[in-house]
Structure 1
Amino acid sequence: MTLDTGTGHDLSGIGSTRSAVVGRSPWVTAGIPAAAVLAAVVASICLGSSPSTLAEVWHAIVTPTGTDMDVTIRELRWPRTLTGIAAGACLGVAGLLTQGHTRNAVADPGLLGINQGAALAIVAATFTFGGLSVYTQATLAFFGALLASVVVFLIGTAARHGATPITLVLSGAAVTALCGGVVTGLTLLDEASLDTLRFWQVGSLAARSNVIDSLWPFVLAGLLLAVLNIGALNTLALGEDVARSLGTSVLAARSTGIAAITLLAGCAVTMAGPIAFAGLVVPHLARAVAGGDYRRSLPAAAAIGVGLVLVADTAGRLIARPGELSVGVVLAVIGAPFFVLLARRRRMVTV
């Protein structure tokens, strides 16, 4: 059996992806995601139960006069679009780093216990103190995600050979199972905890859009750590022994990567709840567009993550108007068949 080698898929997949982008202009690899982001942002602001024109959008943002459309764009669509931009970028980059560090092509940030850690913090606080405000839930989700990731990393580094991809995956699975079991137990004992969990688990860009004002420093810190991790990830893709021979500190690289994943995924969970498939599918799209070099695939993952989340959110508003389907539901519906098709077209593990 030939396992993947650090970029999320096997050597043959890397070779085919890299050959597909050989000679491609950087302007092309950057322009495709940028164009997708721009189109998704425009659609997110213009489309909804009451569509608006570009002229109305410009009027609402630049010279508002208090009309119904001005209020709709400024108070509803613009904040949720900003939330989608931040959450999508966080999920895309966190997913790419997760697949790179765990060497697992079907990994997403939830593999490190982030989603279940956030859920446990919210449910435990509700069980203890009663009903919680939306802002309090968001704060608890962030710190619960941080704590779960720290525990996963500490368990992984305590192993004999340190924080290897296998120890990280196993410790993440253990922490996820433990948190999930406790969450289930608490929700069975307390109806208020169950109601709170139901509300939080419906990933949405609307319900918690006000928390972005408090989270932007953490988002910037996570993106900075991800950028600093690019060089180490490129050398780790060649194998840990080769990376060490090139002077890369594997422990420092893993620590930086896990810190970036924790901050980015924790912020995404806080802003939009647990959104499935974005962190799983986006890295594959980014590598298809930009290749296996993290210097190109990381910004591509951020841009594609933004586009995917905003498109799913806009589609949810159009499909069920005058109501809406949550972005998490839409991504699950369109993401599952897409990923099955992706798995059939590309070999992730060869025997």
Structure 2
Amino acid sequence: MSQHAQSIQKGATTNPVKFRSRPWAATLILTSGILALILGMFLSVSFGAADIHFAVVWDAIFHFNPDLTQHQIIQEIRLPRLLGGAMVGASFAVAGAIMQGMTRNPLADSGLLGLNAGAGFVLALCFAFFPGLPFMYLILYSFLGAGVGAGLVYGIGSLAKGGLTPVRLVLAGAALSALLSALSEGIALYFKIGQDLAFWYAGGVAGTKWFQLKIMFPWILVAILGAIALSRSITMLSLGEDIAKGLGQRTVLVKFLGMIIVLILAGSAVSVVGAVGFVGLIIPHLTRYLVGVDYRWIIPCSAVLGSLLVVFADLAARMVNPPFETPLGALIALIGVPFFLYLARKERREM
């Protein structure tokens, strides 16, 4: 164990929640992040294939006139897309934070550990065998697929000699994701649903509708509130399972509840935005660096920063090559892949 980890555990024994916590930084991030998110929302609604003035955006939101084309564009296309991006970003970021805290694995992310691929495989089956399935059922099947993917990854990783390590977990996730993606593409070719699945794999919030948001919002809200309620216990787990048990934590129950929350968040997000990875990897690391190890601050700050990342990435996707759109997943991967390689190399040096 490194000297840094020993110092964390020593501090956790006496004052586990306040150790290395920076509430002032978290308050600053939440305040400035929400303001930046509001600005990003106005920019996102204003810019696109048709640029719309801020004054028109304001009128469309607060004084909607269905007879005006620009008001229709804002209300029916851009606002659902914007709110969907914010919800998806918060979901992926909070899910990643919980996974990293519970497993003490710095490489944990729903995309890297098979949850996205599992959800995608089940969605491919739904597109092939149950076309026109209501969106509510798609979300439920996404939860199921994400759970199956996570279970297979953890099972495969545990079979290796020496037990489950962060690198083995990621390798198992990469292998299973490749397998499930190949099976999904085979189903797409055989059943001729390639266009639907290709749009899903590219990742994006362009097709988000209000009815999808109405179904998603309660699930995501309850899951994030549950994550905040569980945040103190996750802090204990992140400092070591022995320490958590010594402080009276019911670690099995905490892990079970945490995994349910992760499946809800990842399943909801994947069913809407598709195979967008790395949000849950980048944001929790950045948040921990800024606010410390207290998950009572990490989780809400991750939600805000995750929303910011997806909203501004979606805006960039529309501005890089107008009037065409660059896939959202590709833009985030430009940041996420180098970050992942840096973490993997750092983790290997510390083993």
TM-score (norm 1): 0.81
SS in 1 for 2:350: coil
* Aligned match of 1:291: 292
Distance of aligned partners of 1:152 and 1:4 in 2 relative to their CA distance in 1, 3 Å threshold:
farther
Distance of aligned partners of 1:315 and 1:147 in 2 relative to their CA distance in 1, 3 Å threshold:
closer
Would you identify which runs of 4 or more consecutive aligned residues in structure 1 move more than 6 Å?
A: 18-21, 341-344
* Deviation of 1:93 (Å): 0.5
User: Matches of 2:171 and 2:260 in 1, distance apart?
Assistant: 16
* Deviation of 1:152 (Å): 3.9
Percent identity of paired positions between Structure 1 and Structure 2: 31
CA offset digits 1:206-236 (Å, max 9, x no partner): 2133412112221122112211220111111
User: Matches of 1:264 and 1:151 in 2, distance apart?
Assistant: 14
User: Matches of 2:170 and 2:308 in 1, distance apart?
Assistant: 32
* Aligned match of 1:104: 105
List alignment gaps of at least 5 residues for structure 2.
Answer: 13-17
* Deviation of 1:128 (Å): 3.5
Distance of aligned partners of 1:198 and 1:23 in 2 relative to their CA distance in 1, 3 Å threshold:
closer
* Deviation of 1:3 (Å): 11
SS in 2 for 1:45: helix
* Superposition pairs of residues 275-290 of structure 1, within 5 angstroms: 275-290=276-291
Paired residue total = 334
* Aligned match of 1:310: 311
CA offset digits 1:312-348 (Å, max 9, x no partner): 111111112222223222212343345556778x778
Letter of the 2:43 counterpart: A
Letter of the 2:330 counterpart: V
* Aligned match of 2:52: 52
* Deviation of 1:205 (Å): 0.8
* Aligned match of 1:79: 80
Distance of aligned partners of 1:196 and 1:58 in 2 relative to their CA distance in 1, 3 Å threshold:
closer
* Deviation of 1:92 (Å): 1.1
Letter of the 2:39 counterpart: A
Letter of the 2:235 counterpart: N
List alignment gaps of at least 5 residues for structure 1.
Answer: none
CA offset digits 1:158-179 (Å, max 9, x no partner): x89xxx9759948973864664
Distance of aligned partners of 1:111 and 1:276 in 2 relative to their CA distance in 1, 3 Å threshold:
closer
TM-score (norm 2): 0.81
User: Matches of 2:276 and 2:4 in 1, distance apart?
Assistant: 26
Letter of the 1:207 counterpart: G
Letter of the 1:242 counterpart: I
Distance of aligned partners of 1:165 and 1:207 in 2 relative to their CA distance in 1, 3 Å threshold:
farther
C-alpha contact (below 8 Å) 1:316/1:326 kept by paired residues: yes
* Aligned match of 1:113: 114
- RMSD value, Cα: 3.6
* Aligned match of 2:61: 61
C-alpha contact (below 8 Å) 2:42/2:57 kept by paired residues: no
User: Matches of 2:71 and 2:206 in 1, distance apart?
Assistant: 17
* Aligned match of 1:149: 147
Letter of the 1:198 counterpart: A
C-alpha contact (below 8 Å) 2:120/2:275 kept by paired residues: no
